[in-house]
Structure 1
Amino acid sequence: MLTGVRVPVQGPPATDPAAGHALPPLRGREPELELIGQWADRVLGSRQALLGLLAGGPGSGRSRLLREAELLTGGRGFQVARVRRGPLDTLEGALSAALGVGRPAPEESALRRAHALLAEQLRTMPVLISCDHPLPVPALRQLLAPYRESPLLLLAVEPAGEPAPSLRPAPAERTQRLPLTPLAPAAARQMAADLLGAPPDPELAELLGMAQGRPRLLAELLDSLDADRVLHLDEGLARLTERGRPPRALHGLANRRIAAASPPARELLEAAAVLGRSSLPEDVAQILHRPVAALAPAVRDATGTGLLDGSSDELTFRHELLRQSVLAELPRAVRSALHRQALGIQLARGHSITAAAPHLLHGAHPDAPATATLLRVAATESLADNPGTAAELALRGVAVVTDPGAATPMLALAAEACLRSGALTKSISLALGALEGTSDGRTAEAGQTPDSSEAAQAAQASPAVPARLRTSLATALLLRGDYPAALTALAAVPSAPGVPAAVRRDALLTRIAALAAEAGPDAGERIAEVRRLASGQGLDLGAAAVLAEAVLHWRDGRAARALELAAEAAALRAQGSLASWHHSPELSHALLLAQLGLVTRARAALAAAPLAPEFTGPLLRHLAGARLALAEGRPAAAGAEAAGALGQAEAAGLLWAERQARSVLAALAVQHGEFAIAQEHAQVLRRAEPESPAALLGHWVEAQLAAAEHDPERLRHALALVWPSPPPPGGRALLVREPPFAPWLVRALLTTGQRARATAFGAVVRALAVANPGLPAIHAAASHVRGLLDHDAVALEAAARAHRDAWARTSALEDLGILLAGTDRDRAVRTLEEALEAYQRLGADRDAARARRRLRSLGMRHRHQSRPDRPRERRPSTGWPSLTTTERTVAEYAAQGMTNRQIAGRMFLSPHTVAFHLRQIFRKLAIHSRLELALKAREK
């Protein structure tokens, strides 16, 4: 059915008058539009009618080209009449409506009036009739016939299957045909950029190639991705967020394309998907048991689905998500069997077992005699560069191995791979199960006792396997913070006969790290003894031993010496000395530099540190990044880095890393007035060993909250715990790590009338500065403390210049402004204004409001701009009002059904950060699931 729409000429050329909204630029059809312009000029010049047929399949952009042709010819003086689908049932009736005749009865009167109006208009101006509906060419020629000698241009869509008319004009009429070929890749990318608001990155552009240059399919594909919320903007480019599995809409779109293909093409796509992103035609032919030449029709058909890249010499899927869409539809049993076929093909071609690991992983079966051996070899080869893959392979081996003699070695391999990939709980479970002779509980379930199991006997036959298990167990316990248990597990490993050198090396490295972490009174001597023992066995553990000394010095507050030793350890490792993968000298050095606010040196150390495949590498980089951002006054970046570190640390169970991350998040929460979040971090930190740096930090956060809430009794109690008498063992390390701590504590002690305690504490800070020459952060803290105790403006000014931490520097400015208020008002105002601006940049509204009040006390009322005059009221601890701005945004996205990874992409956060925020949201709203969150959001 057809209807007509009269299109006015006026309006901007980028606007579709019928649709009522702006059109995006036409991409890739400039030559075709230029040809239509030539047709229009020919009609104007010859005063003869012309029929133009747009030839192209559905979705080729015919409708959009017609819209542009209407705008183009309208600008050249044509009266435009559009004919399209609708309630009228004849072309002439639609034309009547398009020309404004209406639909009077009888119909013949309308037809005559339409033709009369068309003839009249053709006498005064040229006319374009655009028909966005396939009609038989004879009918179009019949419509054109009465106006052969008139300036009429009829543009229409050529029906599918219509024989191409002669391109030579007949004596009485002209007919031209315009084929619409697929958009060039550059034009398709431009179209995607118009629809997305940013150019697609190469990965997304590769996926969009599935549309094969068809504009409508390209738009549908983008709509599908947007519907699943898997697109985000990053650095000016549109990128895919979800990469692990195909988005639902994309999966459905791919399946529709596959369903439309022939059965041989579907079989080819399935076989190719099992082989990988790219595969050789001969491999696919071997799986399908067909000659390569017989694949040609299926390859052409499969390429026509858009899933394969037709320009590749191999059978290559345009994107991994498309391959995953094909695999998802294969029954699991069939998929596993195909993986076994693919494994045999690749091994026969001479590929390494590691390269064939995906087929081995997904096709492993207990009945295959070589499966366990292949899994063990592949896991061993993957361990150094990809411990996550090694863990998958080894765990798969544990599941399929049937030989008791091979079970325990496989468990040892799996325990180490899980350890290196961050699955510490699983590693401990595997190691304990194997050492107890239960093969992770399986032999015990079978009714065997640990002493009589064949696995235990096999393990006892070779000392290498139990030594490897004990080393993995000890390392996992070390990373979890159980240092005595780690040392106990290692007791006999290095000296046991028959232990391989690599296992002995790892055991000695773990013992050194555990001794340093335990920090016993004779730790230094015991570390030196281990180093001598290793040297006698031909092992140079100098880098690890020197780094352990650095840890001991840091704990004792000798930060300058710790920095020297950490740098020395990194240099020794560069020269070939050994260090453990879990205590990198380079990253440890960078973290110490970051904690001391030595930003430039820390960034250089991070850049120089080698990228390690183990999970501790990214974790240490997150922690260093959080400290750097906090020191530089970039709270959003600091929060993102710290939340990422917290997520990784909690997943692995690394208490020390979790506490480091929480210290940053707690500082940010206090600065931003998010007291409930700060309270939660403080509670976790206080559960650390009494008077350790983490526990003292938790008490300090509590003291800051008490001060902010003007609770003097609670503040006095917290101050007694923050710095008891005598000074706590972890106090020096806290002073080194937290530059704002010392001045804050002195200020709080003075405020509560405890000058004697403040003076005694000041002496400790001065002694610490003397012991650490050349460290600006510690000397700035000492100057700040001296300025507060002695009312010394020079010392406070020096502290403001020397502080490496943004918040500490700003608080020194505020203290200086307060001191100057009684002697130099103008300078006090300038200093407080600088502090106010700095607090505002940090997002510390409560501190900014306090600085603003001090300015008002000096008569500077005009300085109140957009910030409130009083401190921000304390945020409620529960309910929607308790959510921060970031938490509200995360909650809204989660309520819409978005995954953590999708939310992370939208908000430029890491998935670990999103998970952290969701935990806060669930706690504040007293809910336990996303469904409850969605219901809460709906109620709100």
Structure 2
Amino acid sequence: MHELVGRSREVQFVRSALKRTLEGARECVVVEGPSGVGKSCLLDAAVEQAAKLGMATAVGCATELDRAVPLTTLLCALRDENAPGLIPADLKRLDAQRLGTVDLLRERIVQYAERRGLLIAIDDAHMADEFTALAIRLLVPATASARVMWLITRRSTPAHGVVQDTIDRLIEHNARRLQLGPFDGETIARFCTLVLGAEPHPDILALASRTEGDPSLLAVLLAGLRDTDRVHLSDGVACLRLGNLPPAFLDSVDRRLHVLSPEARHLLDTASVFARPFTVHEIAILQKRPVTDLFRGVREAVQAGALLEYGSGLVFQQDLVREAIHERLAAPLRVALHREVVRVLVAGRAEPGEIVRHVVQAGWSGDELVTQLREGIDRGVKAPSGLLVDIVRLLLSTGNLREVRDFLDCFLDDVEARRLACLLLELAEAATLAGEDIDLYDLTSRALDRQDISEPVRAQMHIVCAHGLLQTGDTDAADRLASAAMESGLRAGEPNYRVMGTVARSVAASAEGRLTDALKHAQEAVYVSETDASETEWHQPQLWLARSLITCDRFEEAEAVLDAIDLRGPAWSKALRQYSRAVLRMAAGRLDEATVELKVIPVAEQFQVCHARPLALLGHIALVRRDIRAAQHHLRLAERLVAGDRYQAPEVSWRLALLHDAEQRPQEALAAAADLYEKLPLTPLVLVEAPEAAVELTRIALRAGARPQAEIVVSAIRRLRQRNPYVPSIAGAAAHAEGLLHDDPTALRAAVDAYRDSPRALAKTMAMEDAAKAEAGREHRPEATAPRQKALDRYAVAGKIYEPGRQDAPARTPAASTRARDGLGSLTEAELRVVALVAEGLTNREVAGRLYLSPHTVDSHLRSSFAKLGVSSRVQLTREFVLSKDNYPEKT
């Protein structure tokens, strides 16, 4: 049992007591501890040990309902099937409330124990009925001469009553007391290793420590992380992925608090907004009630162990429980509570930093958010520069980029110049990754007018200006300015400027379609950040490197880079890391995995960065699966996030066009992508990041009767291919779009050939189907049916059952569907390669080395293969492979 990690001393204590019982010693052990500490697990271990020693066991667990009928708890225990014949048949004729019943029980227990020894264990005895308490008080000393051991567990609370007082009396009369406490840090680490099967990353340890060593909460938390794919292995270390607390953990907290009255639960809901100790008076103000009305709820919450006394106030026993309660609050209630807290804190002249944290969580946005922040800070006192830095980073962590910009605009002269430059750089990187134009160039130009700007800081701000130019599409000027700023930084001995300047140059090259240059600059930025630069925690050049690798069709290298990104970076970078993972998996046809990556990115309508694009990608996945309703939900929300703003969102635009096309509205589809058609000749970025968009945009234009727009797309992807002749997906997309434009089967066959070395499974499959369809339609050759059926089978293997905008997309035949979903046929080619090597007896690490994959990728392929094949061990996997591989020669 995982919960017995770190309990070897207690287990040995119980084992020794059992042995002494068999030798004739009197033994009564009371196990105490808070809820979830492992009392029941220790009792189970005692029962198991007793059975090994040949003892009979009578085990019962008290519940609230036991109090309704006298002697229920004890009689349920003594009727245990592991102690047959212990309760006499004529007991039913006795009045359970007469002491004669207790005498009869004593006689039967003594006689029974003489034959083989007996363990009587009562779990959660603090909830037993009062007559059970009286019977135990009488029976424990009355059975002292027999080979009987009593094991009683109870929750340690300050509450008193007949049952608790009875147990206290037993302890006073020589019952042995065993107190269980929380796990220490070392035991928490061991527990994590045991549950996750690998050494935990510091991020996991930090999260686990917030359970305050509660074994039950820790077990549910870790199992929830593991079962929702929030944990992945990287070089033998269990690493944490971005996301909220697992649903299983939230459910566990709800069950733990279910016994509380509505009044006590309402108190905890209100208090969950305070990530610090709080006073009863603060809760009374928030609930607009007299303090005396809260006495009962406070007493109950303390007695249940949910809250602890902390000086003159209260605090949650586990902060993670507080967070779970806070997360389960309905969003309108959560926002209203934080707004009310802001009002109370401002009236009480609290510290500005605390006010700010509640303002950020209170659901305000835009000018209203900045106004609230100013009201929380100003109050006639100049805000310290450190606080302003904290506010900016807090806003960045929630994705409020425009609000960060407006806030800095208000306090531009109050932040020390070097700190201001660092903050602007962080904002620049986040905005560029999000594709959002937030007037950085104008803001930074004004900052450069300050008198206290040194030459190194000026160089740093010039890099910010370069990012601002990138956002407006002036890539040539951005590249020149970034190059000059890098040279200034190098002269000043500041490698950090080289990192950010090189990133800006990488983005400029990518936007112009110079993928080799973009990759070279991204690699240089990562190299400098890992060898020379300092203070790079808030900068993530690895994200740019991963994106460049993806655009160059080097998926496995990109996955390895994403796996290695430090999760302790800013929240916005974690979200963008998840998005990059999802883009990679979507392109590779791993739709379920892409959805998992996207689902853990928190989305709030007032926060634009990192949210519109994940929503658009979820909508695209839904379109691929022909779930129009889900696609409409995700894409309409993404559209609202970018509406009326200068948000550069080609990823949203072309997917909205796909939605309209799937809805059979060709003119609306054309209108949705109108801006893209206009900008493609100069800015082919959407084709760089998703070459298959060229095919879809061409198809949409042709269906809407807009051949000039289709020609623009074909011309743009052709130029991109000329600049990047070694990227298979771009070559395939260029030939595919050309084939659609000219209805040319030769070009479509060339697209299939070009895609042969591409990892983009969905684009490859789309080309195969279009090629087969063109052959069949033009020459009506029966042999064209086979390649088309093969293309449809590939759709099924990849999870692709519908291509957006294709009203003529044929349904798969039952035979094709069966072949694609059954046995080895359900595995992707990458999964099959992994399975084949595992079947040879190679370890995950050896497979990774043989296939040049990361260990995490191998682990992911194996887990997916286990699920598809319905096996649970490597032995079963090997057997399935050996028996079935001959049926799939084209795969194996």
Give the TM-score taking structure 2 as reference length. 0.54
SS at match of 1:633: coil
- Alignment equivalent of 1:490, drawn from 427, 431, 444: 444
When the two chains are superposed, the root-mean-square deviation of aligned CA atoms in Å is 6.9
Change (3 A) 1:849 1:325: farther
Name the counterpart of 1:562. 518
Give structure 2 stretches of 5+ with no counterpart: 1-6, 34-38, 80-84, 122-134, 153-166, 232-244, 261-275, 278-301, 316-344, 357-371, 822-859, 861-892
- Alignment equivalent of 1:593, drawn from 549, 552, 561: 549
Name the counterpart of 1:54. 28
Instruction: Choose 30-39 or 615-624, whichever is displaced more.
Output: 30-39
Note if contact 1:626-1:639 (Cα within 8 Å) is conserved in structure 2: yes
Q: How much does 1:606 deviate?
A: 3.7
Name the counterpart of 1:667. 620
- Post-superposition Cα deviations, 1:737-780, rounded to whole Å, max 9, x if no partner, equal 21222233445566677778756754443332112122222112
Note if contact 1:625-1:641 (Cα within 8 Å) is conserved in structure 2: yes
Fraction of identical pairs, as percent: 17
SS at match of 1:54: strand
- Alignment of 1:766 with 2:721, yes or no, is no
Instruction: Choose 839-848 or 623-632, whichever is displaced more.
Output: 839-848
Name the counterpart of 2:786. 829
Q: How much does 1:26 deviate?
A: 13
Name the counterpart of 1:630. 586
Name the counterpart of 1:310. none
Give the Cα separation in 2 of the matches to 1:138 and 1:564: 79
Name the counterpart of 1:715. 666
Give the Cα separation in 2 of the matches to 1:37 and 1:463: 71
Equivalent position amino acid for 2:142 in 1: L
Q: How much does 1:325 deviate?
A: 3.9
SS at match of 2:726: coil
Instruction: Choose 843-852 or 423-432, whichever is displaced more.
Output: 843-852
Equivalent position amino acid for 1:772 in 2: N
Name the counterpart of 2:313. 330
Q: How much does 1:605 deviate?
A: 3.8
- Post-superposition Cα deviations, 1:195-238, rounded to whole Å, max 9, x if no partner, equal x9999997899788978xxxxxx8xxx4x999xx9775233799
Give the Cα separation in 2 of the matches to 1:511 and 1:425: 16
Name the counterpart of 2:693. 741
- Alignment of 1:784 with 2:736, yes or no, is yes
Give structure 1 stretches of 5+ with no counterpart: 1-24, 43-49, 145-151, 166-176, 212-217, 255-272, 275-306, 308-320, 333-362, 380-394, 436-458, 869-907, 909-940
Give the Cα separation in 2 of the matches to 1:202 and 1:715: 53
Instruction: Choose 764-773 or 823-832, whichever is displaced more.
Output: 823-832
Name the counterpart of 2:799. 842
- Alignment equivalent of 1:140, drawn from 139, 142, 145: 142
- Post-superposition Cα deviations, 1:19-51, rounded to whole Å, max 9, x if no partner, equal xxxxxx9996588568757976x8xxxxxxx68
Name the counterpart of 1:504. 458
Give the Cα separation in 1 of the matches to 2:800 and 2:438: 43
Note if contact 2:435-2:647 (Cα within 8 Å) is conserved in structure 1: no
Give the Cα separation in 1 of the matches to 2:612 and 2:58: 72
Name the counterpart of 1:346. none
Change (3 A) 1:867 1:604: closer
Give the Cα separation in 1 of the matches to 2:506 and 2:439: 23
SS at match of 1:233: helix
Give the Cα separation in 1 of the matches to 2:422 and 2:744: 59
Equivalent position amino acid for 1:628 in 2: L
Give the Cα separation in 1 of the matches to 2:540 and 2:210: 39
Equivalent position amino acid for 1:622 in 2: Q
- Alignment equivalent of 1:807, drawn from 762, 766, 772: 762
Note if contact 1:487-1:511 (Cα within 8 Å) is conserved in structure 2: yes
Equivalent position amino acid for 2:691 in 1: P
Give the Cα separation in 2 of the matches to 1:163 and 1:550: 73
Matches within 5 A, 1:519-558: 519-520=473-474, 523=477, 527=481, 531=485, 534=488, 538=492, 541=497, 543-558=499-514
Q: How much does 1:594 deviate?
A: 2.5
Name the counterpart of 1:352. none
Equivalent position amino acid for 2:769 in 1: E
Q: How much does 1:82 deviate?
A: 11
Name the counterpart of 2:283. none
Name the counterpart of 1:100. 89
Change (3 A) 1:87 1:527: closer
Q: How much does 1:601 deviate?
A: 2.7
Give the Cα separation in 2 of the matches to 1:587 and 1:752: 37
- Post-superposition Cα deviations, 1:717-751, rounded to whole Å, max 9, x if no partner, equal 52466468777456622222212222334455666
SS at match of 1:673: coil
Name the counterpart of 2:595. 639
Name the counterpart of 2:472. 518
Change (3 A) 1:842 1:180: same
The number of equivalent residue pairs is: 652
Note if contact 1:543-1:578 (Cα within 8 Å) is conserved in structure 2: no
Q: How much does 1:65 deviate?
A: 8.7
Name the counterpart of 1:700. 654
Give the Cα separation in 2 of the matches to 1:700 and 1:668: 14
Give the Cα separation in 1 of the matches to 2:312 and 2:422: 40
Change (3 A) 1:408 1:205: closer
Give the Cα separation in 2 of the matches to 1:545 and 1:637: 34
Name the counterpart of 1:21. none
Name the counterpart of 1:234. 225
The structure showing larger relative contact order (alpha-carbon pairs under 8 Å, at least 6 residues apart) is: 2
Name the counterpart of 2:127. none
- Post-superposition Cα deviations, 1:226-263, rounded to whole Å, max 9, x if no partner, equal 9xx9775233799986999x968879999xxxxxxxxx
Note if contact 2:549-2:557 (Cα within 8 Å) is conserved in structure 1: yes
Give the Cα separation in 2 of the matches to 1:624 and 1:465: 31
SS at match of 2:764: helix
Please say which structure displays the higher CA radius of gyration: 1
Give the Cα separation in 2 of the matches to 1:825 and 1:577: 63
- Post-superposition Cα deviations, 1:160-185, rounded to whole Å, max 9, x if no partner, equal 657999xxxxxxxxxxx995756799
SS at match of 1:804: coil
SS at match of 1:101: helix
Note if contact 2:612-2:652 (Cα within 8 Å) is conserved in structure 1: no
Q: How much does 1:552 deviate?
A: 3.0
Matches within 5 A, 1:881-892: none
Name the counterpart of 1:818. 773
Q: How much does 1:791 deviate?
A: 0.8
Give the Cα separation in 1 of the matches to 2:347 and 2:226: 45
Q: How much does 1:638 deviate?
A: 2.4
Equivalent position amino acid for 1:134 in 2: I
Equivalent position amino acid for 2:620 in 1: A
Give the Cα separation in 1 of the matches to 2:773 and 2:567: 48
- Post-superposition Cα deviations, 1:641-680, rounded to whole Å, max 9, x if no partner, equal 44555738x66543xx444434422321211233244345
Change (3 A) 1:700 1:396: closer
Note if contact 1:53-1:178 (Cα within 8 Å) is conserved in structure 2: yes
SS at match of 1:564: helix
SS at match of 1:234: helix
Give the Cα separation in 2 of the matches to 1:605 and 1:854: 39
Name the counterpart of 2:833. none
Q: How much does 1:781 deviate?
A: 1.1
Give the Cα separation in 2 of the matches to 1:416 and 1:504: 20
Give the Cα separation in 2 of the matches to 1:484 and 1:588: 20
